[in-house]
Chains A and B, each alone.
Chain A
Amino acid sequence: MKQKEKTVKKILPYGLWDFSGLQNWLNAQAKDGYAFQKSLNLSFFDIACFRKDSRAPQSRYCLDPIHESADAYESQQRRKDYEAYGWHFVGSIGKLYAVYRCDDSDAPILYTDPQSLALAMKKQVRRTWFLMLFEIVWLIILFRKELALLPQWSAEFWRKPILQTELMVPFYIILFALAVTFISESIGIFLGMRRMRTLLAKGEWPKEGHRYAVFVRNLICSVLLIASIVFWVYQGISGESRPKGVPDAADWVFPHILLEEVLPEGAVISELYGQKELLRGSTLASSFLAPVQYDTVQGGQILLADGQTAEARLYQQYIQTHGTPVAKTLYQAELTAFRHSLENYRQNWEENTSSLHQNQPNAYAFLEEETFTAPAFDALTRFTYQFSEEETKNTVYIGLREDCVWILKCFEAADGDAALEKIMQRIQAEEP
């Protein structure tokens, strides 16, 4: 029974553009008794497969730029032509080079002058240029919405990494590692090939590049990627990053106010909604950069002094961060995110004006943003707005105080001015 040949796999220590480095390395492997068979691409690494061959030290290896696809007629014809000179096709590297082996020590190498190799690489350089362009265009198309938002809403980017550090930071690292590898690989190959071709066209044989430079870069990217994926999956499974419910206001351990305190004069709550009716529950979450995050809501039906009924809702978010710089960043991020949500609503409204609300071309009856100073806050911004289809105004405060960010949303009958006054009293009352 024929014994199966053992394949030895080795990581290519040179970039795919490094013609001299790769060719010299294949010949060094042959001297050690390893005959090249084929190459594989394994995520970040290109792997060369060898078999032990006692005749390998007497053989020589040469690379030939692949002009078209490896199976094209031209390549097949070229293989036949080369065989007449003692050079036999053994495999290819990265769809860029055909690898030829010759056991005749008198046969000339494939390319005996640099200019002819420069000519042979002309189509290959063009191919790598189109490949690079295609990948860049594809990435731009893929992230076109995100890229369009960057100039106007870039501050919003930091919101999620602060509020969900353990989930979002690994996620961004994964994206970054993939993007770096994806883009730098094709850009690197194109630039490297172009540089090499320029040298060859001048009549110089290019020297081999730094061994393992590409390997080290790819190793760092893959370690980052694997560690991030493992950590990400662990966070998802362990549930450590999931917020816990705190529906009872007695559990809210932060300076807060209650819905009943911000009702209009003489109004009383006739029915306080439960979490199911409110759609969203009150929660306490945490992250490395923002260890305490309350997101609470109270709402209900109220009976006004004149006997009328109305709705009232009070949303309070309290985020304690790991320091003032983080809080300042989050404050800007929350402001931008809120402006963005208002703008999205306006755009959505205007897009549907002709079909859904022809008589109401404007999304807002009024919308006002005001930054002002208040004793309990280092910075405070108020948004006052009324949707054109509603009859009550909404008030939203976003405030910064030392390492904390407050967001206070008073909707419908909840009184914004009273809410601000009360929350400032609470904050000041808790000052040491």
Chain B
Amino acid sequence: MGGKDRAALTEPMYYVLMSFLHQEMCGIEITEFVERKTDGRVRLGPGTLYTLLGKFQEEKLIEETQTEGRKRTYRLTEKGREAFLEELERLRACLLDGEEEL
């Protein structure tokens, strides 16, 4: 897997990866998706978004698919999907632990 030692994703990282699960996305679409998904609780500034996209590209979690003028589109790689699923598992475990203790 190669991702066992990965640090936990921050909330913006988690939602950015989530946005690619079903389709390719460009920057504005990611921002809109995250805002819609979280009912406006998580807002992504462009600095935050493009820094995360740069990091994910470096780590090969996403890849750029096309550039049309200023619009760049990205998609999730297999490694990126694994990273997202790992994080999801971690969050489920956290949730279960918390509910058991209640």
Contacts and interface: CB of A to CB of B under 8 A. Distances in A.
Given A84-B70, A113-B10, A120 B47 contact: yes
B51 A116 contact: yes
Contacts of B43: 108, 112
Interface string B45-56: 111101110010
B70 A111 contact: no
Contact of B70 (A83, A87, A116, A120): A83
Interface in A58-73: 62, 64
B11 interface: yes
B93 interface: no
Contact of B45 (A80, A83, A108, A119): A108
B27 A110 contact: no
B47 A62 contact: yes
A124 to B, nearest CB: 12
- Contact residues on B (Cβ < 8 Å of other chain), bracket: 10 to 19
A109 interface: yes
Contacts of A84: 27-28, 46, 70
B50 A113 contact: no
A157 to B, nearest CB: 50
A81 B72 CA distance: 9
**Taking chain B's interface residues, is the majority helix, strand, or loop, or is none over half, making it mixed?**
helix
A89 to B, nearest CB: 12
A115 B13 CA distance: 10
Contacts of B48: 110-113, 116-117
Interface of B: 10-12, 27-28, 31, 43-48, 50-52, 55, 70, 72
Contacts of B12: 112-113, 115-116
A88 to B, nearest CB: 11
Top 6 A-B residue pairs of the complex, sorted by shortest distance between their CB atoms: A110-B47, A116-B48, A112-B45, A80-B70, A85-B46, A111-B47
A366 B43 CA distance: 85
A385 B46 CA distance: 78
A138 interface: no
Nearest to B50: A81
Contacts of A120: 47, 51
9 contacts: A82-B47, A110-B46, A111-B45, A112-B45, A113-B11, A115-B10, A117-B51, A119-B55, A120-B47
